[in-house]
Structure 1
Amino acid sequence: MSTAASPGRRGGGERTSEARPRLDRERIIAAGLALAATPGTTSISVRDLGERLGADPTAIYRHFRSKEHLMQALLDELIGRSVAEVTADPADWRERIRQLARATLRLFVHYPAVGVEATVLTTHGPGELDAVEVMLDAFSRAGLEGDDLVRHYALLASHVLSSAAGIARARGERGGTRADDDPSPWFEGPLLADPRRYPRIASVSTRLVELEDRDLFMLGVDAVIRSAEHAARG
């Protein structure tokens, strides 16, 4: 009787194929962010994520109920990282708001395939809750309460998330090697308009093409801060 080892086994019963790496939520999130940071990546597929992990894509669903649940986890991780960059003294509520906004924009631009999801997803995770707490605390220290407090939080959150997501999408589609915190033109190319039909545009066309996305983003943040100051004065 032959004693040769069966296919796929060595003597002693060892398997020749390497065991697939063990997956957990942390490893999947890390791989998802690495994929999102890859130049030219504007969306994340479970199939591509499985290839990066060296695992069957269906194994990801053992840790995340759906693709949406996965993207919520990735987005919440980015928001949590943004909060971690808020280091100003709590009494300096204006700077804390600016730090949170700048960090959110930088991270969304670096991980555009995740950042764009901020316009459609609410994570309900610890990162999002920490961000809400930072904003509410800042506006409370500004002297706001009640409806004014809630409305200014909502206004800031809406501006930061939607604007940062829009900038991330635009930069991701353009590609290039520009650093995450470098500004980009708000308009693509020259703004051509017949001055006879569009005299107002023609009169400021040079200034319009000089607008930069990051500056406009922070201008919106400062506008919310000024509104909070005005509301606090009564």
Structure 2
Amino acid sequence: MNGKAELRADRSSEPKTRLDRDSIVEAGLRLAARPGAISISVRELGADLGADPTAIYRHFRSKESLMQSLLDRLFLETLSELTTPPADWKGRLLQIAASTLDLFTRYPAIGVEAIVISTNGPSELEIVEIMLDAFSRAGLSDHEVVRHYALYSEHLLSSAAGIARARASNTDDSDDSVPWIDSPLLVDPERHPRIASLSPQLRALDSRDLFRLGAESIIESAERLGAEAKSTQ
């Protein structure tokens, strides 16, 4: 038997990797959690699973479909961590925000996708329902419930995704900060005096603090409008 024939025989005797949606998603989570990873390729998934990358398309019709499933898996994690009771609608919304930021920064290659895709999966739909219910409990009209939900959701997803990308790009493991402005503010103080005078404060801003401030501001807006609506009834 020649060398090529022996190689073919060795390959044919190797156990075939059995793929299913769950095993592919688990591999995606592993790859997304790698330090500095801000994307996942089907080729990388195939290598991690010991399978031909094209086999993944037997379970997911496209790369976008795969990323939707991975993102919905993160939403499932958020749901599993949600312990605040529905009656505490403000605490419930803040816990969703904190969990979203934590998971997106833990799996940045998945979190960044939240800017461009919607999963329409069961976990995402459950979170939407929870948010709508929370803003309803604030006493808002249906119109304001929808507006505040949309604003809150947009803030959480886009801001957390941006922070996840910035954190993944930071190669300094000892520095956990995510500065809002990541470059020096070199301006002419005569032309831009306010920028020059406030430069230290601007440079000190951390994106995670702003993320939390934005979430709290939207919740405060809902609480204020809800109180006003109740006072007029």
Normalising by structure 2, we get a TM-score of 0.90
Displacement after TM superposition at 1:82 (Å): 1.5
Displacement after TM superposition at 1:123 (Å): 0.4
Is residue 167 of structure 2 the alignment partner of residue 143 of structure 1?
no
Gaps of 5+ in 1: 1-5
Task: Tell me if the contact between 1:35 and 1:44 (Cα under 8 Å) persists in the aligned partners.
Answer: yes
Q: Which residue of 2 aligns with 1:158?
A: 154
For residues 60 and 215 of structure 2, the distance between their equivalents in structure 1, rounded to whole angstroms, comes to 34
The change in CA–CA distance for 1:17 and 1:176 in structure 2 (over 3 A counts) is farther
For residues 96 and 190 of structure 2, the distance between their equivalents in structure 1, rounded to whole angstroms, comes to 44
Q: Which residue of 2 aligns with 1:3?
A: none
Q: Which residue of 2 aligns with 1:192?
A: 186
Q: Which residue of 2 aligns with 1:77?
A: 73
Is residue 112 of structure 2 the alignment partner of residue 120 of structure 1?
no
Displacement after TM superposition at 1:187 (Å): 1.4
For residues 51 and 215 of structure 1, the distance between their equivalents in structure 2, rounded to whole angstroms, comes to 38
Displacement after TM superposition at 1:147 (Å): 0.6
- Segments of 4+ moved more than 3 angstroms: 6-10
For residues 217 and 9 of structure 1, the distance between their equivalents in structure 2, rounded to whole angstroms, comes to 57
Q: Which residue of 2 aligns with 1:225?
A: 219
Is residue 197 of structure 2 the alignment partner of residue 203 of structure 1?
yes
Task: Tell me if the contact between 2:136 and 2:142 (Cα under 8 Å) persists in the aligned partners.
Answer: no
Q: 2:32 aligns with which of 36, 43, 63?
A: 36
Displacement after TM superposition at 1:177 (Å): 2.2
Moved more, 183-192 or 71-80: 183-192
Higher helix share: 2
Displacement after TM superposition at 1:40 (Å): 2.1
Q: How many residues align?
A: 223
Amino acid at match of 1:191: L
For residues 147 and 50 of structure 1, the distance between their equivalents in structure 2, rounded to whole angstroms, comes to 46
For residues 116 and 9 of structure 1, the distance between their equivalents in structure 2, rounded to whole angstroms, comes to 43
What is the alpha-carbon root mean square deviation over aligned residues?
1.8
For residues 214 and 42 of structure 1, the distance between their equivalents in structure 2, rounded to whole angstroms, comes to 18
Q: Deviations over 1:168-220 (max 9, x none)?
A: 112222233269xx542211143222211110101211111110111000100
Percentage of identical aligned residues: 58
For residues 9 and 115 of structure 1, the distance between their equivalents in structure 2, rounded to whole angstroms, comes to 43
For residues 159 and 16 of structure 1, the distance between their equivalents in structure 2, rounded to whole angstroms, comes to 52
Q: Deviations over 1:108-139 (max 9, x none)?
A: 11111111110110101011111101111111
The change in CA–CA distance for 1:116 and 1:195 in structure 2 (over 3 A counts) is same
Is residue 94 of structure 2 the alignment partner of residue 98 of structure 1?
yes
Q: Deviations over 1:3-40 (max 9, x none)?
A: xxx95669xxxx87221221111110010011011112
Gaps of 5+ in 2: none
For residues 216 and 154 of structure 1, the distance between their equivalents in structure 2, rounded to whole angstroms, comes to 18
The change in CA–CA distance for 1:93 and 1:183 in structure 2 (over 3 A counts) is farther
Normalising by structure 1, we get a TM-score of 0.89
Displacement after TM superposition at 1:226 (Å): 0.9
